[in-house]
C-alpha cells in the first residue's frame, strides 16, 4: 500500500491510528484532529464539510503475504496478462516484418551478386577472346605477314635489273 496522509504527507501504514472524514478521505487521527482544532470544519483534501464529531476511526488489516494480496485481484492480473499479450503480439509483428525485410534484402543482394558474377564472366570471356586474338595476331605478324610484305615490297621496289641479285 502506498497511501499518504494529505495533512502531514507521511505514508499511511495500516498499523497507524487512522480516521476517515464523511467525504471518505482518510488521515492520521492526530493530523486531522490538529487540522480541526485550528477552527476549520472541512476535509483538508477536498474541503467538504467535516467536524470532529463526524470522524470515524479506520482500521486496516495488513496482509501477511504481499504477493498473495496481489494474486487475489484476478481482474488486475488479467489486465496485466492482456497488456503483456498485446506487447508480445506487437513484438512478433515487428520481428516478422524485420525478417521479411531481411529476406527481401537478401534476395536483392543475391540478384546483385549474380549480376556481378555474370558481368565478371562476360569480362573474362572478352578478355580471353582478346588474348586469343592478340596471340593470333602476334603469330601472324611474327611468322607471315611482315616477311611477306617485306618480300613483296622488296620485289616491287627493287629495280627490275637488280631483282635477280637477291
* Site of interaction with Zn ion (CB under 5 A): 5, 7-8, 23, 25, 28, 31, 43, 45-46
Inter-residue contact 11 to 4 (CB < 8 Å) = yes
Q: Whole-number minimum distance, CB 60 to Zn ion, in Å?
A: 15
Q: In angstroms, how far is CA 29 from the centroid of its own chain?
A: 53
Nearer to Zn ion, 11 or 91 (CB): 11
Q: What is the DSSP letter of 52?
A: G
Q: Report d(CA 9, CA 88) in Å as an integer.
A: 39
Nearer to Zn ion, 53 or 75 (CB): 53
Nearer to Zn ion, 56 or 127 (CB): 56
* Closest by Cα among 38, 37, 14 to 26: 14
Cell of 72: 487475489
Q: Report d(CA 125, CA 90) in Å as an integer.
A: 52
Q: Whole-number minimum distance, CB 58 to Zn ion, in Å?
A: 12
Q: Whole-number minimum distance, CB 38 to Zn ion, in Å?
A: 15
Burial category of 122 from C-beta neighbours within 10 Å (exposed 0-12, middle 13-18, buried 19 and up): exposed
Q: Whole-number minimum distance, CB 21 to Zn ion, in Å?
A: 5
Helix, strand, coil tally for the chain in percent (to 5): 65, 10, 25
Nearer to Zn ion, 13 or 124 (CB): 13
Q: Whole-number minimum distance, CB 96 to Zn ion, in Å?
A: 52
Nearer to Zn ion, 38 or 67 (CB): 38
Amino acid at each position: 500500500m502506498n497511501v499518504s496522509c494529505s495533512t502531514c504527507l507521511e505514508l499511511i501504514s495500516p498499523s497507524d491510528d487512522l480516521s476517515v472524514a464523511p467525504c471518505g478521505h482518510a488521515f492520521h487521527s492526530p493530523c486531522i484532529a490538529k487540522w480541526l482544532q485550528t477552527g476549520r470544519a472541512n476535509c483538508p483534501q477536498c474541503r467538504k464539510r467535516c467536524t470532529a464529531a463526524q470522524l470515524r476511526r479506520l482500521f486496516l488489516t495488513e496482509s501477511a503475504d504481499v504477493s498473495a494480496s496481489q494474486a487475489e485481484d484476478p481482474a488486475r492480473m488479467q489486465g496485466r496478462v492482456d497488456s503483456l499479450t498485446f506487447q508480445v503480439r506487437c513484438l512478433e509483428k515487428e520481428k516478422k516484418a524485420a525478417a521479411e525485410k531481411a529476406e527481401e534484402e537478401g534476395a536483392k543482394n543475391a540478384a546483385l551478386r549474380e549480376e556481378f558474377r555474370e558481368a565478371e564472366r562476360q569480362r573474362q570471356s572478352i578478355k580471353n577472346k582478346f588474348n586469343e586474338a592478340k596471340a593470333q595476331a602476334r603469330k601472324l605478324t611474327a611468322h607471315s605477314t611482315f616477311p611477306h610484305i617485306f618480300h613483296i615490297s622488296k620485289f616491287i621496289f627493287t629495280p627490275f635489273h637488280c631483282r635477280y641479285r637477291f
